[in-house]
Amino acid sequence: MTVCGFIGTGNMGGALARSMKGRARLLLNNRTPSKAEDLARELGGEACSASRAAKEADFLFLGVKPYMAKEALSSVQKDLEKRGDMPVIVSMLSGVTIAELEGMLPRPAPVVRIMPNIPVGTGDGVTMYAKSALVSQRAVADFLEIMGASGVLIEMPEASMDAGAALAGCGPAFAALFAEALADGGVACGLKRQDALQLALSMLEGSAAYMRKTGMYPGQMKDAVCSPGGTTIQGVRALEEGGLRAAAMNAVIRAFEKTHK
């Protein structure tokens, strides 16, 4: 079974590890050992030192904060140097390029840069990835296999990944705000909070699935629901008056710009 080591099991690292349960042997390390231990019990993995993860992993996932990357890799430098074959280094480090990461490694290694989002933990996520020239076709196949239960996987040029992350990585927070606002509207109209939230979440989930399965564009979906002189077009009018489209566009743009500051 493929061995996946994690240095950093925070929100994103933990979510990815959950998606791999049963698909890989999991070696879990966190600077707060109790977090790795709790996750190991949940997933049937093993809490361990960063050194052991670096020694044994076929894929070594880096889930630390970007500013901690150099320190984390320095702590396992000797372990990586002693290996015959380097593991595939899988980086979740926002804003850190493959070239920058390669500069932190003791010797050349295959590198895959990924930008996942939180829903990967339930198999409903999306992960963008780019790979270095040293990643073999066999490694790509193994990577896609162990990541397969996490959701949608999209290979894209590394230069596009920051923009993709601003949309898909930050997007769950934007979607959560919209869902909460819709539920609040339902409560204002007399619905119970639990019913309003269930309706909002189910509606968003179903609408996304419908557009994906039918190939319908969002504008077509909007037109299909809006009857002449009906209720929906008045709701759309209110959203336009509130600047929903501009606010959504600016949210993605601001998030993208932040990665370059």
In terms of Cα–Cα distance, which of 12, 11, 53 is closest to 29? Answer: 53
Please tell me whether residues 61 and 141 are part of one structural domain: yes
Based on the fold, state whether residues 218 and 137 are members of the same structural domain: no
Clarify whether residues 111 and 19 are in a common domain. yes
CATH code of the domain in which 51 resides: 3.40.50.720
pLDDT attached to residue 100: 92
Same-domain status, 131 and 153? yes
Domain membership flag for residue 166: no
Are residues 31 and 111 located together in one domain of the fold? yes
| Residue that is last in its domain, among 114, 133, 157 | 157
Helix pair angle (33-43, 11-19), 10° resolution = 20
pTM for the model stands at 0.87
CATH number, domain of 231, equals 1.10.3730.10
Residue 163 domain-assigned (yes or no): no
Q: Single out the residue of 195, 171, 173 nearest to residue 183, CA to CA.
A: 195
Q: Are residues 126 and 227 in the same domain?
A: no
Same domain, residue pair 96 and 182: no
pLDDT tens digits in sequence order for the chain, 261 residues long = 899 999 999 889 999 999 999 999 999 999 999 999 999 999 999 999 999 999 999 999 999 888 888 888 889 999 998 888 899 999 998 888 999 999 998 889 999 999 999 999 899 999 999 999 999 999 999 999 999 999 999 999 999 999 999 999 999 999 999 999 999 999 999 999 999 999 999 999 999 999 999 999 999 999 999 999 999 999 999 999 999 999 999 999 999 998 876
Radius of gyration of the chain (CA): 21
For residues 140 and 203, membership in a common domain is answered with no
152 & 200 share domain = no
- Within this chain, do residues 209 and 141 fall inside the same structural domain, yes or no? no
The boundaries of the domain holding residue 201 are 171-258
Same domain, 200 and 230: yes
The crossing angle, in degrees rounded to 10, of helices 231-241 and 244-258 is: 50
Q: Which of 157, 188, 213 is the last residue of a domain?
A: 157
164 falls within a domain: no
Q: Which of 157, 186, 202 is the last residue of a domain?
A: 157
- Distance CA(97)–CA(133), nearest Å, equals 14
Distance (Å) of CA 42 to CA 15, 18, 37, 47: 12, 9, 9, 11
Q: What is the Cα 170 distance to its own chain's centre?
A: 9
pLDDT of 66 reads 84
| DSSP states of 34-90 | HHHHHHHHHHT-EE--HHHHHHH-SEEEE-S-GGGHHHHHHHTHHHHHH-SSPPEEE
Residue 75 lies in a domain: yes
Residue 57 shares a structural domain with residue 95: yes
Asked whether the beta carbons of 143 and 19 are under 8 A apart, the reply is no
Q: What pLDDT is attached to residue 164? A: 93
Measure the CA–CA gap between 165 and 184, rounded to whole angstroms: 28
- Distance (Å, rounded) from C-alpha 21 to C-alpha 186? 38
Let me know if residue 190 belongs to a domain. Answer: yes
In a domain, 162, yes or no: no
In a domain, 228, yes or no: yes
Structural domain count of the chain: 2
Residue 165 lies in a domain: no
